[in-house]
């Protein structure tokens, strides 16, 4: 689950879910955003210290690729 917020207001502007292969796609207007990856409940995979937040600043007509490697330690 991915939430994308405007960096200035921290208001959620979009939420996306990854498909069965882990891919997702969202379209954003140019600006500054925070992308936060959480589990389906909106938690950082049950581990407080995890913070999968990245800032992005997409420009018109450009694509940004983001990869998140999530290791919760569960084996």
Cα 28 from Cα 34, distance rounded (Å): 12
Amino acid 1: pLDDT: 45
State the virtual CA torsion across 24, 30, 31, 34 in degrees, nearest 10. 0
Query: Tell me: the pLDDT tens digits for 7-62?
Result: 677 777 888 888 888 888 888 888 888 888 777 777 666 555 556 777 888 888 88
Query: H/E element holding 34?
Result: strand 33-37
**Greater model confidence, 11 or 1:** 11
Residue 17 lies in a domain: yes
Residue 68 lies in a domain: no
Shortest CA distance to 54 belongs to which of 72, 29, 32?
32
Count of domains for the chain: 1
CB-CB contact of 13 with 4 (8 Å): yes
Query: Tell me: the pLDDT tens digits for 48-67?
Result: 555 677 788 888 888 888 87
Token pair 């389906």 is found at 40
Tell me: pLDDT of 3 over 60: no
Which structural domain, as residue segments, surrounds residue 7? Answer: 1-59
Residue 20 lies in a domain: yes
């Amino acid at each position: 689950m991915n939430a994308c917020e405007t960096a200035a207001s921290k208001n959620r502007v979009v939420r996306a879910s990854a498909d069965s292969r882990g891919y997702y796609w969202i379209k954003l207007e140019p600006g500054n955003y925070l992308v936060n990856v959480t589990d389906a409940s909106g938690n950082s995979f049950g581990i407080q210290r995890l913070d999968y937040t990245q800032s992005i600043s997409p420009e018109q007509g450009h694509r940004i690729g983001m990869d998140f490697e999530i290791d919760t330690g569960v084996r």
